[in-house]
Amino acid sequence: MVARQGAIAIFVKTPGFSPLKTRLAQSIGQTQAEQFHTLSAKAVEAVVRYVSEREPVVPYWAVAEEAALSSPIWKEFSTVFQGTGDLGMRLAHIDQCLFDAHDYIIFLGADSPQLPVSYLLEAIELLSKKTDQPQFVIGPAIDGGFYLFGSQVSLTQKEWLNIPYSASNTTEKLLEQIQRRGKIHQLPLLTDVDTIDELEMIEQQVEIDNNLLWEQHQVLEWIRNRNSFDS
């Protein structure tokens, strides 16, 4: 039996090309916000690399800026341009591009550096099975958004555009779009970082997970050093 091959698309913006973590930057400054963004992206990269070395999935950076597709910071994985428009349009574009070559797609943000390897492996296990009805996996974020979304079927552009993003009901509305199309599996809640309060929550979440990768420990150390400096 040929294994079903998936894609993992990590949505990122590139330092020097776009404003990064603007709400976080209002509290800790643009330099530190960019430092966090880079460290967080590297932590997510490490998780995805670990998984892709063990499972039939192909990792991609979904890059916000077409001019940054060849940036050295994204050299670890293949890059694909997110396209233009709002987040719904860009998600729809990546959906359409990658489903042409893969059996399922997992969409990830780059601002949940504490993402456990086990969560991503669970998503792959659920999506890689051939079943009678389409399978979906969602990782809800504490702020009402989602840090992970996986699907065995392509969503229409209309479905992507019917979801309000960066809202307290983003996950709720996503679930409404897909609930009649297949079976939905939910992963545990995690924080994705947009504000200083969420940054501080990361430290609490990673401390309860003893199976962190080195790059994830680097994020934790950066947060601790920043907190020590502020105090």
Would you list the DSSP string of 28-61? Answer: H-HHHHHHHHHHHHHHHHHHHHHHHTTSSEEEEE
- Residue 34 has what pLDDT? 93
User: pLDDT band for position 230 (50/70/90)?
Assistant: low
- Total-model pTM: 0.93
Task: Give the pLDDT confidence score for residue 231 in this predicted structure.
Answer: 42
Q: List pLDDT tens digits, range 72-109.
A: 999 999 999 999 999 999 999 999 999 999 999 999 99
For the stretch 2-12, pLDDT in tens is 457 999 999 99
Mean pLDDT of all residues in 130-158: 95
Packing angle between helix 196-207 and helix 214-230, nearest 10 degrees? Answer: 130
The average pLDDT across 138-152 equals 96
Q: Say if domain 6-230 classifies as CATH 3.90.550.10.
A: yes
pLDDT of residue 1: 40
Share of residues in the chain with pLDDT > 90 (%): 79
Q: What is the mean pLDDT of the chain?
A: 92
How many CB atoms neighbour CB 211 within 10 A? 8
Mean pLDDT across 190-205 = 86
Confirm if 117 and 101 have CB atoms less than 8 A apart: no
The string of pLDDT tens digits covering residues 5-57 is: 999 999 999 999 988 888 999 999 999 999 999 999 999 999 999 999 999 99
- Average pLDDT of 164-175? 93
| Residues 43, 113 contacting (CB under 8 angstroms) | yes
Q: Domain residues of the chain, as ranges?
A: 6-230
